[in-house]
Amino acid sequence: MIENINEPILLEVKNIIKAYGKLKAVNDISFSIGKGICFGLLGPNGAGKTTALEAIENIIKIDSGTILYKGKERSRQFKEEIGIQFQATELLGMLSVSETLATFKSLYSETQDLETLIDLCKLDDIKENRNDKLSGGQKQRLLLAVALVNSPELLFLDEPSTGMDPQARRNMWDIIESVKASGKTVILTTHYMEEAQYLCDEIAIMDNGKIIANGSPKDLIKTHCRKSAIILPQEVVGEPDSLKIKYTYVNGNIEILTDNINDSIEHLILNGINLNDMSVRTPNLEDVFLTLTGKKLRE
């Protein structure tokens, strides 16, 4: 179970199960989320993370287990205090960005100032544009603003940067960082491992309905992928067997996995290897994911 000892627990998931016939889409998972953090729920397609997310959001009913918000069963207060950016949402095409936000604002008793929200989500230049004229990235920023309109304490983001180009994705990360800095708690699913590593304080990796690993990105990398890779062109190395070091051939290069880069580089220098074209790849969440599941996140 994941617990953040520095922050009070906002959400507790205890042994929840959700089955469809004989298939247990969510199979006895538990974790806790501290207030004010970004929590990532990751997994390959079919792992059960979307089902788990929908169960936590109270969109679907669980078969067994307990989900507590602020130490209590979820009530109407929970609905008032959460925001959800779904993976796909259809908005009325004839409404403008401003009209859309005003419409959603009217549904809640406690809301954010719309101009502040428009500024936060970088919508000022397009606030009079119709929804059916927005680009993919603009629509995602609008959907984030919609999820924030009631000033939620807990924000669910289901693949918020899907379909964005790299620059738009980084802009979205900056917005999410600002949201988290304001004290809100974020639960994130994503198919971009670099996004999870950048944004998330805690991560749970799901596969086949179960949580197979959890912890901070740094701890997950340290636990499951300690080795870095020293990469050298094959022609520079010559006969790698003579180095008496473990290696693999990858795309015309020699990759040497090591848990001590300094010792490995010293060994290469002593053996007369030219390191001018050397590169070093440190392990990341993608490596953790491949190690644990045997597949890439987007498969």
Domains and CATH numbers, the chain: 9-223 (3.40.50.300), 227-282 (no CATH)
Q: Is the pLDDT of residue 94 over 90?
A: no
Q: What is the mean pLDDT of residues 65-69?
A: 96
Q: Is the pLDDT of residue 112 over 50?
A: yes
Which of 225 and 119 is assigned the larger pLDDT? Answer: 119
Residue 1: band (very low, low, confident or very high) from pLDDT cuts 50, 70, 90: very low
Encoding tokens for residue 68?
């507590």
Q: What is the pLDDT of residue 267?
A: 86
Q: What is the pLDDT of residue 155?
A: 96
Q: What is the pLDDT of residue 261?
A: 87
Residue found under tokens 């507790």: 12
pLDDT single digits (tens) 233-279: 877 777 777 777 777 777 788 888 888 888 888 888 888 888 888 88
Q: Is the pLDDT of residue 165 over 70?
A: yes
Q: Mean pLDDT score of the chain, rounded to an integer?
A: 88
Which of 207 and 244 is assigned the larger pLDDT? Answer: 207
Q: What is the mean pLDDT of residues 133-149?
A: 90
Q: Is the pLDDT of residue 178 over 60?
A: yes
Residue 286: band (very low, low, confident or very high) from pLDDT cuts 50, 70, 90: confident
Q: Is the pLDDT of residue 75 over 50?
A: yes
Q: What is the pLDDT of residue 67?
A: 96
Q: What is the pLDDT of residue 295?
A: 60
Distance CA 205, CA 39 (A): 11
Distance CA 9, CA 154 (A): 12
Q: What is the pLDDT of residue 274?
A: 84
Q: What is the pLDDT of residue 46?
A: 84
Q: What is the pLDDT of residue 13?
A: 96
Q: What is the pLDDT of residue 211?
A: 94
pLDDT single digits (tens) 187-196: 999 888 899 9
Q: Is the pLDDT of residue 3 over 50?
A: no
Q: What is the pLDDT of residue 4?
A: 46
Q: Which helix (H) or strand (E) holds 137?
A: helix 136-148
Residue 225: partners with Cβ closer than 8 Å, 6 or more residues away: 283, 284, 287, 288, 291
Q: Is the pLDDT of residue 45 over 90?
A: no
The burial of 236, by beta-carbon neighbours within 10 Å (0-12 exposed, 13-18 middle, 19 or more buried), is given as middle
Q: Which helix (H) or strand (E) holds 107?
A: none
- Give SS3 for 51: helix
